[in-house]
């Protein structure tokens, strides 16, 4: 941590020396003492990190002094120090924004030491969070991470621009690897709720018996193992965005519970009676055709129309034309910056190889292919031989047929299970999918026997 500047506002010169001496034992603390509030206010431009404030100053009451400090900068923690153990006054000051209320007794010095330490750590964490949010906001601007100049992507960008201006529910569809979560983050971090939480729930990765608790929270003792209250994802995302990824994997019983929450904008934790109002934006994503799932009885029609909102369909990479080359060059640039290596370029053969390949894994696969090629390249040029499509032989026959996306995924996963001798952990890492997805597909018979 950096130096912490502390203003001690105390009209009793002896007690002021006691406080300043005690706090100065920490070499990181820079102490300035003021005998009245008037002199303190004149020096607030020095940007103190914390202020200890005597409640009974000669020129101003503690309440008025606290108010003036907050009007100048409400982020400065103010610790009230008083000779009176007045509970009602302490409660009022804490309600008005004081960080703590300390009585001048034998334990005051130790309590002040601990309170300053906690306030400093909390303020440092708050600053880190603000910096992180600023960095995240920059990271998820449309010009960074979501790359494309094709007409298909321009349509996507147009809808994203509309999404950030309102609080409408957004439903994102597209094949695996097209960047659905990236789009959801870009919408959130460019919206008016950008400083609020962005919370992700991967529906397909949560066991059926735990998803209600995960989403809505639970009270202590509500079921076996519930040894304490848990706050659910909806509450954690209050004021921000809840991203429900792979919503098409949700069971019908859970869909009914979600429908009520979406309609009423309120929920009950599992095992609880308290009605909790929510103000959370919902963004959903799926690789499935939800309307077809409705027709097949796998998805509730009423929930479908509640969640449809503003639909954004992400095109597969094979339908994005020259975006393949735009993305390839972008990933090369990002890779050499991250690894501090000389810039690389693509040979004509490498470019042709990239343009001719269908990229069934979409943008995610493109990134992996380019990063591997950058590592394999001997010089400053990525040659055709450096471009390796590990799944080419396995998928050549598959891509010639006409199947649903789910059938394609099943064939791909089956071929990888065969290649890695049924090692589900390895296949999960290679394909960047959850192990629970593979187990579920094995259980329902979607995957072919290996």
Q: Can 4-129 and 149-313 be said to share one CATH topology?
A: yes
Residue 340 Rama label (left phi>0; alpha psi -120 to 50; beta): left
Distances from the Cα of 395 to the Cα of 174, 359, 412, angstroms: 20, 10, 7
What sign has the CA pseudo-torsion 180, 185, 190, 193? positive
Domain residue extents for the chain: 4-129, 149-313, 317-389, 398-443
For 410, counting Cβ atoms within 10 Å of its Cβ (0-12 exposed, 13-18 middle, 19+ buried), the class is: middle
Q: Measured between alpha carbons, how far apart are the two ends of the chain, in Å?
A: 56
**Spatial contact of 51 and 79, defined as CB atoms under 8 Å apart:** yes
What does the pLDDT read at residue 400?
Answer: 46
H/E stretch holding 428: helix 424-431
**What φ, ψ does residue 158 adopt, rounded to 5°?**
-60, -45
Residue 26 CB neighbours (<10 A):
15
Considering the domain 4-129 in this protein, what is its CATH number? Answer: 3.40.50.2300
Q: What is the CATH number of domain 317-389?
A: 1.10.8.60
Dist. CA 284–CA 265, nearest whole Å: 16
| Mean pLDDT per 10-residue segment, the chain (450 residues) | 85 91 91 92 90 90 89 88 84 88 89 89 66 51 70 91 93 93 92 92 90 92 84 94 95 95 94 92 95 95 96 94 91 87 89 92 92 89 89 46 73 79 82 85 74
d(CA 276, CA 255): 19
Structure tokens at 297: 């009885």
Angstrom CA distances, 228 to 218, 219, 222, 224, stand at: 8, 7, 9, 11
- How far apart are the C-alpha atoms of 450 and 436, rounded to whole Å? 18
402: how many CB neighbours lie within 10 A of its CB? 6
Per-residue pLDDT, 445: 79
The crossing angle, in degrees rounded to 10, of helices 252-264 and 301-308 is 50
Q: What share of the chain is helix, strand, coil (3-state, %, to 5)?
A: 50, 15, 35
CA distance 30 to 11: 19
Q: What is the pTM of this model?
A: 0.58
Q: Given this structure, which CATH class describes domain 149-313?
A: alpha beta
Strand ranges for 188-239 from DSSP E: 198-202, 217-218, 230-231
pLDDT at position 85 is 80
What b/e readout covers 90-105, taking b as 16+ CB neighbours within 10 angstroms? Answer: beebeeeebbbbbbbe
How much is the pLDDT for 148?
87
CATH number of the domain located at residue range(s) 398-443 in this protein: 1.10.10
Question: Distance (Å, rounded) from C-alpha 154 to C-alpha 148?
Answer: 8
Q: Strand pairing of 345-346 and 381-382?
A: parallel
Count Cα atoms within 13 angstroms, Cβ side, for 49: 21
């Amino acid at each position: 941590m950096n130096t912490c500047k502390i203003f001690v506002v105390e009209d009793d010169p002896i007690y002021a020396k006691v406080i300043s001496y005690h706090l100065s034992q920490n070499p990181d603390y820079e102490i300035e003492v003021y005998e009245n509030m008037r002199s303190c206010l004149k020096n607030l431009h020095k940007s103190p990190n914390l202020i200890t404030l005597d409640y009974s100053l000669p020129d101003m009451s503690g309440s008025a002094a606290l108010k003036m400090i907050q009007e100048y900068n409400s982020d400065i923690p103010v610790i009230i120090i008083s000779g009176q153990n007045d509970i009602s006054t302490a409660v009022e000051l804490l309600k008005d924004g004081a960080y703590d209320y300390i009585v001048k007794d034998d334990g005051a010095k130790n309590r002040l030491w601990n309170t300053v330490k906690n306030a400093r750590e909390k303020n440092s964490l708050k600053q880190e969070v603000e910096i992180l949010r600023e960095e995240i906001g920059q990271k998820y601007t449309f010009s960074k991470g979501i790359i494309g100049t094709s007409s298909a992507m321009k349509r996507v960008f147009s809808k994203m621009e509309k999404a950030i201006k309102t609080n409408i529910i957004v439903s994102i569809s597209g094949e695996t690897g097209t960047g659905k979560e990236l789009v959801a983050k870009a919408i959130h971090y460019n919206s008016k709720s950008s400083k609020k939480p962005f919370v992700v729930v991967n529906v397909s990765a949560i066991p059926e018996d735990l998803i209600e608790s995960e989403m809505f929270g639970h009270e202590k003792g509500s079921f076996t193992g519930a040894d304490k209250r848990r706050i659910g994802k909806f509450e954690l995302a209050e004021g921000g965005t809840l991203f429900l990824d792979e919503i098409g994997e949700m069971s019908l019983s859970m869909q009914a519970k979600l429908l009520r929450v979406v309609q009423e904008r309120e929920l009950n934790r599992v095992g609880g009676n308290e009605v909790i109002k929510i103000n959370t934006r919902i963004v959903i994503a799926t690789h499935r055709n939800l309307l077809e799932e409705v027709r097949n009885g796998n998805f509730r029609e009423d929930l479908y129309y509640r969640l449809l909102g503003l639909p954004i369909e992400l095109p597969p990479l094979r339908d994005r034309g020259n975006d393949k080359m735009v993305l390839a060059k972008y990933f090369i640039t990002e890779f050499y910056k991250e690894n501090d290596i000389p810039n690389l370029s693509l040979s004509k053969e490498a470019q042709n190889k990239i343009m001719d390949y269908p990229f069934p894994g979409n943008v995610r696969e493109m990134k992996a292919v380019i990063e591997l090629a950058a590592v394999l390249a001997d010089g400053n040029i990525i040659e055709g031989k450096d471009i390796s499509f590990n799944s080419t032989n396995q998928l050549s026959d598959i891509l010639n047929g006409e199947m649903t996306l789910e059938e394609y995924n099943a064939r791909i996963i089956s071929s990888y299970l065969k290649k890695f001798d049924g090692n589900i952990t390895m296949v999960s890492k290679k394909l960047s999918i959850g192990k629970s997805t593979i187990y579920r597909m094995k259980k329902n018979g979607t995957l072919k026997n290996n």
